[in-house]
Amino acid sequence: MAAKQDEYVLEDFLQHLQKTIPGFKREANSHQWELAKMVWEGGHKRRQHDKFEGAMSFHYKELEQAFGRTGFNVINARLGFFTVTENWSMDKGWTKGYWFSEAIAQAREKYFNRTWRNVTRMTWADGRAMKKLPKAVAGKDMRGITTTAWRNAKEMNNVRINLPQLRRLQAWLRHVRDEWRCGRAPADLFLEYPNLAVIERLAETTSKIIRLAKTDVAGHGYVAHRYLESESGRLYAKDINLQTTPTIIKQAALAGLWEYDFSNCHYAILMQMAAKFGNECQAIGNYLVNKKATRQAIADQAGITVPQAKTCLLAIIYGARAATRFDNAIPDEIGRQAAARLYRSPIFISIHQDIKKARRAILNGRPCTANGRLSNAMGKSIETKKPSSKTGANPRQQLAHLIQGVEAKALKTAIDMHPDDIVLLQHDGFAATTRLDGIAIMEAVYQATGYRLELEEARIQVDPEEQFLKYRIQSENDRKANTGAGSRLSLVS
């Protein structure tokens, strides 16, 4: 949790805690800032604990850096911000569990239920207010190495959002949340609503995006974004952002913009990369040609949903093992029994076998540097694991590094072509303020990477069915239902 150079806390959130939590404002300013950041971040999905239900995860090293060796325990005992379990496991990789105290939970809900009319400031850990938005991409990557690859991503540090759509979504989510809390499970003839915990998280995230769209430095209706470049060249957005926000919220926030995705990007890259080294991937080829039918067939065979089938297919390309232990990615996503059924699916088995053969062909044919490092299309290199060494990337990680390098290069090519139009980067696509020439982008990507990637485009609109949500705009004068997004259009004829 120790403050990094470009991390911030909203000033009015800090002031809200000072007013509502006894003793909080008497703590050192730096500790107030760190606690406020913990309380703000606690609702994030990435903070969900792997073992303890409803708990959050904070690593002890984060707490030591923020508060000193025993400082957090002393302050928490004094203020009662969190209930903390003593159980943790270094071997299994899970921390102690942290739950908000009743007072903090009430303070958070009171804040996120507000209607904000005034702008607030974004404050650094030293108490200074942010005067100017940082560049979209940090000058140093996740390893602390200076990077300039994404210098053209100049419009991505401040994203204009559709506040009216977000407010309507916020009102609907609050209504569904309150129905759950009153013991009236929301029902619909065709759609199944998410459970209360999911609805609460969606409502809170929507409120956070709305609040972040009212800061003095970003401007009314704009949300500041900051990206870090990973060791593969991929860009990861920090803090609350629209790259990782749930789809229903992203659709509301960006309604009216144009979204572009490289269709089945990772499998398309893998198949072509394997072909360069003489390996044919027949099952993967069938999947690429019959994407929807393949996912549906796997879902039917495993007794899971189509989105879960898609997630599992992505997991195995990045090295998820076909094992039913809960600490493996697939059983953690769909459960052990469903995982066991999935591993018996003939289609899933054939795709998994293709991946393993392709990985061997690629890594056996791809040269490393003299010191054993593997470079990808972004010019980023990683250390490969040697048989006698405990360090370095294993074969699964090496393949991911190569695939992500091509993916990042493709996205960078699009940004270099349209630096003034692209405002948000996703891992296999981007959002733009205007309709772009997708055919020209695909050709430029091929020239830059040597890979043919299909680009799909769609006008962004709220699509509730995608998240099993139904959102209706209701008023006495207009009861017109939002029919959702139009079909996604492939730019390949």
- Same domain for 165 and 97, yes or no, is no
- Same domain for 116 and 158, yes or no, is no
Q: What is the pLDDT of residue 225?
A: 96
Last-in-domain residue among 89, 124, 159: 124
Helices 395-417 and 265-276: crossing angle in degrees, nearest 10, is: 110
Q: Are the CB atoms for 193 and 468 separated by under 8 Å?
A: yes
- Same domain for 161 and 100, yes or no, is no
Domain membership flag for residue 131? no
Q: Are the CB atoms for 324 and 340 separated by under 8 Å?
A: yes
- Same domain for 61 and 157, yes or no, is no
Q: What is the pLDDT of residue 241?
A: 94
Measure the N-to-C terminal CA separation of the chain; round to a whole number of Å.
49
Last-in-domain residue among 367, 396, 425: 396
- Same domain for 118 and 12, yes or no, is yes
- Same domain for 117 and 187, yes or no, is no
Domain membership flag for residue 385? yes
- Same domain for 250 and 291, yes or no, is no
Q: What is the pLDDT of residue 91?
A: 76
User: What is the C-alpha separation between 146 and 165, in angstroms, rounded?
Assistant: 39
Domain membership flag for residue 320? yes
Domain membership flag for residue 246? yes
- Same domain for 232 and 205, yes or no, is yes
Domain membership flag for residue 85? yes
Q: Are the CB atoms for 26 and 75 separated by under 8 Å?
A: no
H/E stretch holding 416 = helix 395-417
Q: What is the pLDDT of residue 490?
A: 58
User: What is the C-alpha separation between 77 and 216, in angstroms, rounded?
Assistant: 35
Count up the domains in the chain and report the number: 3
Domain membership flag for residue 449? no
* Residues of the domain holding 153: 136-256+461-484
Q: Are the CB atoms for 125 and 3 separated by under 8 Å?
A: yes
Q: What is the pLDDT of residue 369?
A: 77
Which pTM value belongs to this model?
A: 0.87
- Same domain for 293 and 340, yes or no, is yes
Q: What is the pLDDT of residue 7?
A: 87
Q: What burial class does residue 383 get, using C-beta atoms within 10 Å of its C-beta: 0-12 exposed, 13-18 middle, 19+ buried?
A: middle
- Same domain for 388 and 302, yes or no, is yes
Q: What is the pLDDT of residue 387?
A: 67
Distances (CA, A) of 214 to 207, 219, 222: 11, 6, 7
Unique residue bearing structure tokens 């998820």: 320
Domain membership flag for residue 46? yes
Mean pLDDT, contiguous 10-residue spans, the chain (493 residues): 71 97 96 96 85 90 94 96 89 88 97 94 93 93 92 91 95 90 73 78 95 96 96 93 92 96 97 97 97 96 92 89 59 88 96 97 87 91 79 91 97 97 93 97 98 97 58 30 43 54
- Same domain for 66 and 145, yes or no, is no
Residue 150 three-state SS: coil
Non-local (6+) Cβ contacts of 271 within 8 A are: 281, 284, 285, 288, 358
Q: What is the pLDDT of residue 482?
A: 32
Domain membership flag for residue 291? yes
Last-in-domain residue among 355, 371, 396: 396
